[in-house]
Amino acid sequence: MARAIWSGAISFGLVAVPVKLYPATEQKDIRFHQFKEGTQQRIRNKRVSEDTGREVDYQDIVKGYEVDKGKFVIVTPEELEAVAPEKTRTIEIEDFVSLDDIDPIYYEKTYYLAPEDEAGAKKAYALLLQAMKQEGQVAVGRFVMRTKEYLAAIRPMDGILVLETMFFPDEIRQASEVDDVPVRAKAGERELKMARQLIGSLATAWNPSRYHDEYRERVLKLIRDKAKGKEVVLPAAPEPSKVADLMEALRQSIEATKQGGRAAGASASSDGQRPSAKKSSKAKATTRRRPTQKGRKLKKAS
């Protein structure tokens, strides 16, 4: 069971809804330790002074902010504590907005909100949930968790209130910072028609259970096999098929979807030359070919 990481109340107007905050997501990253190659000796990181090379105790470490190259302002824990946001137990709702008005780029992390186990909490929670659902609105407010103030959006989802911590506007990079955008090139009518046809052939209802972290599953299998002393064969990476132009890439992609597959790895070259019929046929066959299992072998785990 998940544990609550914060408790307090949602405040809108004079109404207070006592709630608890639970993480809605968890990272499934595979974490490795570091070892000296050929040994079982763990590698440890230590905090050392760059001048003396000696290890420094944690209690003797302070924070510094670089204001100019090589020039730092040192800030003590007491000074940071003095300017920390006021520790409150309230999520202050400032506005109600339409969910469609919030671009997903603002969302940071998702949490579940549950009512506190106290008199009146569940009724107040149900009131806010139902009212927001009927109005189709999302609550936007702020709260303090640990020592950080968060901007947050609260929305109804499947009979529960969900809180999304959000980035502040000055934390969002502008698209103008990205090179080569906006793109000035225009697509041709035939290419656009085929691209829309390809999108339509791949369109489906959202079903998150269809998607898996295949890389993580392969790494875990590799670890299990090595732990059992099995011989591990590294498969050769399949080479992507090369299609000479954009129209041919679109045509082959649409053909692959009609046959129940997906033309993964096909790419169009920039030379603008259409391939011969023989090469085109070979390229189509390549997109459906299963990866070979040829590759070098690893030694058994000792």
Is residue 98 located within the same domain as residue 157?
A: yes
Domain assignment of residue 232, given as a range: 190-197+214-298
Is residue 159 located within the same domain as residue 19?
A: yes
Is residue 10 located within the same domain as residue 112?
A: yes
Q: Which residues of the chain have pLDDT under 70?
A: 241-244, 261-302
E strand map for the chain: 6-12, 15-23, 63-68, 71-75, 90-98, 107-115, 137-145, 148-157, 160-166, 232-233, 242-243, 267-268, 297-298
Is residue 121 located within the same domain as residue 264?
A: no
Residue 243: its pLDDT value, please? 60
Residue 151: its pLDDT value, please? 96
pLDDT, tens digit, 9 for 90 and up, residues 125-177 = 999 999 999 999 999 999 999 889 999 999 999 999 999 999 999 999 999 89
Rounded to 10 degrees, the C-alpha dihedral 92/95/101/107 comes to -10
Is residue 121 located within the same domain as residue 236?
A: no
Q: Is residue 104 part of a domain?
A: yes
Is residue 22 located within the same domain as residue 153?
A: yes
Q: Is residue 145 part of a domain?
A: yes
Is residue 22 located within the same domain as residue 142?
A: yes
- Is the overall model pTM greater than 0.85, yes or no? no
Strand partners, 68: 71
Is residue 222 located within the same domain as residue 152?
A: no
Is residue 116 located within the same domain as residue 222?
A: no
Q: Is residue 100 part of a domain?
A: yes
Q: Is residue 207 part of a domain?
A: no
Is residue 109 located within the same domain as residue 22?
A: yes
Decide the pairing of beta strands 107-115 and 90-98.
unpaired
How many separate domains does the chain show? 2
Is residue 127 located within the same domain as residue 256?
A: no
CATH number of the structural domain spanning residue 151: 2.40.290.10
Q: Is residue 118 part of a domain?
A: yes
